[in-house]
Structure 1
Amino acid sequence: MKKIILLLTFCAASFTAVQAQDGHIGERKSTDYPSGGSDSRNSGFGIKGGFNAADFRGGDKKNFGDNSNYKSFHAGVYAQIGLNDKFSIQPEFLYSRQGFKASNPGNTTMTSPYTTRLDYLQVPVLLVYNFLDNVSVHVGPQVSLLTKVKEGSVERKINDSQYNYNYSSLDYGLAAGLEARVGPGRVGARYTAGFADILEDPKSTVNQSITNIKNGVFQVYVGIGFAQ
């Protein structure tokens, strides 16, 4: 994760230097564009990545012991489509490593707390509003596909009849956050709440008391944008 952040920071610094030589291309203010049209500085694409503090929420969280968040990372690309000088749409494609730390009463092979790692491919589609020229609020839906599960050091199948429970392969939710720009660089924070249960298909009465849990992740990221 540190290597990703350092790489993005280096790219942002390099791109800023190039822009300075070329007359600050892409650093125009929103007021430099005519109002009421689709021509906007909020158009382009970029890369981003950063830190995850993931956890879980829901009515059955109380049935897991010694739970705490799982610290990891996310990275990906985004495109931004300007609607006018204030609003834009921002779809993203991200790899996000999430999960939680806890003891699971449904896991009969590991009774002490362990890390449940959940790797997702995510597609958020965000409405972006620049309430200041260089500061914006982001909010919108997100769909996630689960690609890998590890319980402790053991990788397991997402769906397998030999287990006492399975994992939901699809998650959906809502993302919201704030972002600030510094030249082509961006820094932001976001919280994403999943609405689908992480676990499904309980095989016993005991396991039915652990399925009402959902993803929650707080993200801090840096990125670099390239204006059209």
Structure 2
Amino acid sequence: MRTNQLLGRLAAAALLVSGFATASEAQTRRAPARPAPTYSSSSSSATEGIKFGVRAGLNVADLSGDAVKSFTDLTDLASGALTKEMKPGFYAGLYATIPLGSRFAIEPGLGYSEKGTKLNGTIPFEQFKFINAKLEGTARLAYLDIPVLAKAYITDGLYVYAGPQASVMLSGKARVKASAFGFSAYNNDFDVKDQLRTVDFAVVGGLGYQTQSGFGVSAGYDYGLSSLDKNNNFDAYNRVIKASLNYSF
């Protein structure tokens, strides 16, 4: 009798476990597994963490000041025989963009920059025109620019920037060329670095656009604050318009 009761209880327990297993399997079939949640994130250009980058482009440089004004006066007296032109040059450098919130960043940099100016002239006397005498003088100045810029994002990607810049002179040369009858008569380079200040200070500003892929463009202006002549015999200040392409990573 006891054996029959024990076997009956074991059978009932087996049926109970089997029922729960069947119900659980049916529940699993009816409710498909939920897919793992996915997340997307988007952030403005100033909130993506510190970024480093490279930049390269073109400078269009000139000099201004009392010395240049004297030259302009001489140009007027020479009836346009002398002209002053902006000098093209190369610019390349590195930078780091450090975010300071959703719309602001600080960007220190380091770059090689070619500056200076160019002068052209002819003999302004009618009786000498037949020799076609021409004179060309070029101030070729190379600097290591060290800007510290503040950037403000107007919209995602589009920004304006401004800040101070120190420039250490790497080389300073003056090239003088003269020709007559279409042939070169004189061509010489003079080292003028020792006559110029080693460090030039400027205020820079401009605007740019940075894409999400890392590529960007910018354009700006350097306004020199220090006279280049270290002996204070004349005033001449660097003025530079620059445009560049950059890549941030």
TM normalised by structure 1 equals 0.71
Aligned twin of 2:22: none
SS at match of 1:60: helix
Gapped regions of structure 2 (runs ≥ 5):
1-40, 76-82, 122-133, 176-187
Per-residue deviation, 1:103? 6.8
Pair 1:142 & 2:165 matched:
yes
Which amino acid letter does the alignment assign opposite residue 46 of structure 1?
A: G
Deviation per residue, 1:200-221 (Å, 9 max, x gap): 326xxxxx4xx11100000000
Pair 1:29 & 2:43 matched:
yes
Aligned twin of 1:55: 62
Per-residue deviation, 1:60? 2.9
Q: Which of 145, 151, 154 in structure 1 is aligned with 2:189? A: 154
Per-residue deviation, 1:75? 0.1
Aligned twin of 2:114: 97
Change (3 A) 1:28 1:119: farther
Aligned twin of 2:237: 214
Gapped regions of structure 1 (runs ≥ 5):
1-26, 32-38, 105-110, 160-165, 203-207
| Alpha-carbon separation, structure 2, partners of 1:173 and 1:150 | 21
Aligned twin of 1:223: 246
Which amino acid letter does the alignment assign opposite residue 69 of structure 2?
A: K
| Alpha-carbon separation, structure 2, partners of 1:58 and 1:86 | 37
Per-residue deviation, 1:29? 3.2
Aligned length: 174
Deviation per residue, 1:174-220 (Å, 9 max, x gap): 00000101221010101001111122326xxxxx4xx1110000000
| Alpha-carbon separation, structure 2, partners of 1:42 and 1:216 | 33
| Alpha-carbon separation, structure 2, partners of 1:118 and 1:168 | 11
Per-residue deviation, 1:148? 0.4
Pair 1:191 & 2:227 matched:
no
Deviation per residue, 1:47-89 (Å, 9 max, x gap): 0010000001123312125211100110010001101010110
Which amino acid letter does the alignment assign opposite residue 118 of structure 1?
A: L
TM normalised by structure 2 equals 0.65
Residue pair 2:174, 2:192 contacting (<8 A) in 1 also: no
Which amino acid letter does the alignment assign opposite residue 231 of structure 2?
A: D
Higher relative contact order (CA 8 A, sep 6+): 1
Aligned twin of 2:47: 40
Which amino acid letter does the alignment assign opposite residue 126 of structure 1?
A: L
Per-residue deviation, 1:154? 1.1
Aligned twin of 2:90: 73
Which amino acid letter does the alignment assign opposite residue 181 of structure 1?
A: Q
Runs of 4+ deviating beyond 4 Å: none
Aligned twin of 1:177: 206
Residue pair 1:67, 1:113 contacting (<8 A) in 2 also: no
Residue pair 2:209, 2:217 contacting (<8 A) in 1 also: yes
Deviation per residue, 1:133-155 (Å, 9 max, x gap): 11000100000001101111414
Deviation per residue, 1:106-145 (Å, 9 max, x gap): xxxxx93311000000100000000111100010000000
Change (3 A) 1:59 1:185: same
| Alpha-carbon separation, structure 1, partners of 2:94 and 2:84 | 31
- Greater share of helix: 2
